[in-house]
Structure 1
């Protein structure tokens, strides 16, 4: 009789988070947050990307989170202020700075979150703290945010971190009309309502998850008048095609919990 291979059990594919999973993360975590801060002057720039192009850039256990079958790659400039720990007041010189991140969306064990490819910031102390205690890929950069009028913003950034790939960003946008609250299940909800973040050790053998709490984003329409960036390409990622999905974000107060190994 011919030999036949024994049947093997298929490797289970991690299930994508349900809408209930996503809504559950809006609940404030137990315990005390480690940090409190405010995020403002946000510009969300999102491009749809085939998931198979991003998955190889992630640690093995993390899976790309998709909406209508597509992964999303984002560049997000913003201003961080009122930064303090739960035990200390705001410290002048370290409590406000600009930040710019490149990110995508992932899930692990039904918990959706954000994966950062890089986070550039103007504050050297904040970069050191984030790299040392949160294992986040923060990099030093020179940045400038200008407000020529009530609805116009100009943001420029040039990376200065030693040993990191050079990168620059320049954008001008006009803030439009306020949008209604994001409907659960909508694309805007998927892209902006994120209450967990992931990172790993350098070897990508260990994963860590941190929780974030804030009110749902107050979003507005926005029109990008000018955009120059090589941030995405600096990570070996494909240059997105087409126009981005754009939102402007109004200020929110944010609480962050310590990273936990998962």
Structure 2
């Protein structure tokens, strides 16, 4: 990708999504969703990074989405539940599992979305479905989520699938007071209000986009009491510097539409 030109840090991207484009994606897509699920006990952990650090890791047509010139790298643990398809109700044993993803924010021709470097999950079936039908880099892992107090969460994970370097994650956080809805144009809005996801094949020769729909994230303040992880490093990226910007989120009911090649 050496011949792929992108705006260096500090230079405006002429194709960057407008606020109107970001808001428009809140509208529920037409047609029936493929999947329904609920996301809860979520922790957004975000670090600002130079866009030039992440751009070479993306498919050539995708560009890093930035806020005030900076890209953002995130590690996000959460619980997924009430998983069902449009044809089947939730199935016991497969409708609830834990997930942990490493992500950044991108756009294609001004349409903003999420790019996942990896998604670790405890459900082998979910891993297979996501890799087969959504082209997403899911990996199997063992995980545990505990609630030692009403506002405390402890999340541990260890990747068990060998197609990527081993990785561990341990975090304890305290959920604080509810926050007002993220103001359009704010950093919290940029980081959390995302209604598209992008994926590609391994060679980055095919690109896919999928739509999701949900109510704006119910966010709360959060304090990370303990954190250790090698997830980011498993992608060949340097350890994020400094304390992350954190938000607790959920629960939120989510609908997902089939991926479309773009």
CA–CA distance in 1 between the matches of 2:67 and 2:213?
A: 22
Match of 1:57 in 2: 57
CA–CA distance in 2 between the matches of 1:142 and 1:126?
A: 13
- Change in CA separation of 1:34 and 1:253 when aligned onto 2, cut-off 3 Å: same
Match of 2:141 in 1: 141
- Do the aligned partners of 1:233 and 1:239 also contact (CA within 8 Å) in 2? yes
Match of 1:3 in 2: none
Is 1:15–2:11 an aligned residue pair? no
Match of 1:25 in 2: 25
- Change in CA separation of 1:246 and 1:11 when aligned onto 2, cut-off 3 Å: closer
Cα deviation per residue 1:216-241 (whole Å; 9 max; x = unaligned)?
Answer: 00000000000000000100112111
In structure 1, list runs of 5 or more residues that go unmatched: 1-9
Is 1:71–2:71 an aligned residue pair? yes
CA–CA distance in 2 between the matches of 1:199 and 1:71?
A: 18
Q: Secondary structure at the match of 1:54?
A: helix
CA–CA distance in 2 between the matches of 1:162 and 1:247?
A: 31
Q: Secondary structure at the match of 2:135?
A: coil
Match of 1:159 in 2: 159
CA–CA distance in 2 between the matches of 1:53 and 1:223?
A: 27
CA–CA distance in 2 between the matches of 1:16 and 1:260?
A: 21
CA–CA distance in 1 between the matches of 2:261 and 2:146?
A: 39
Match of 2:194 in 1: 194
Match of 2:175 in 1: 175
Q: Secondary structure at the match of 1:55?
A: helix
- Do the aligned partners of 2:6 and 2:63 also contact (CA within 8 Å) in 1? no
CA–CA distance in 2 between the matches of 1:249 and 1:172?
A: 15
CA–CA distance in 1 between the matches of 2:75 and 2:202?
A: 23
Is 1:104–2:104 an aligned residue pair? yes
In structure 2, list runs of 5 or more residues that go unmatched: 8-12
Which shifted more, 159-168 or 65-74? 159-168
TM-score of the superposition, structure 1-length normalised? Answer: 0.95
How far did 1:163 drift? 2.8
TM-score of the superposition, structure 2-length normalised? Answer: 0.95
Instruction: Give 1 or 2 for the bigger CA radius of gyration.
Output: 1
Match of 1:122 in 2: 122
- Change in CA separation of 1:56 and 1:11 when aligned onto 2, cut-off 3 Å: closer
Q: Secondary structure at the match of 1:227?
A: strand
Cα deviation per residue 1:36-74 (whole Å; 9 max; x = unaligned)?
Answer: 000000000000000001100100000000001000000
Aligned length: 253
Match of 1:261 in 2: 261
Q: Secondary structure at the match of 2:181?
A: coil
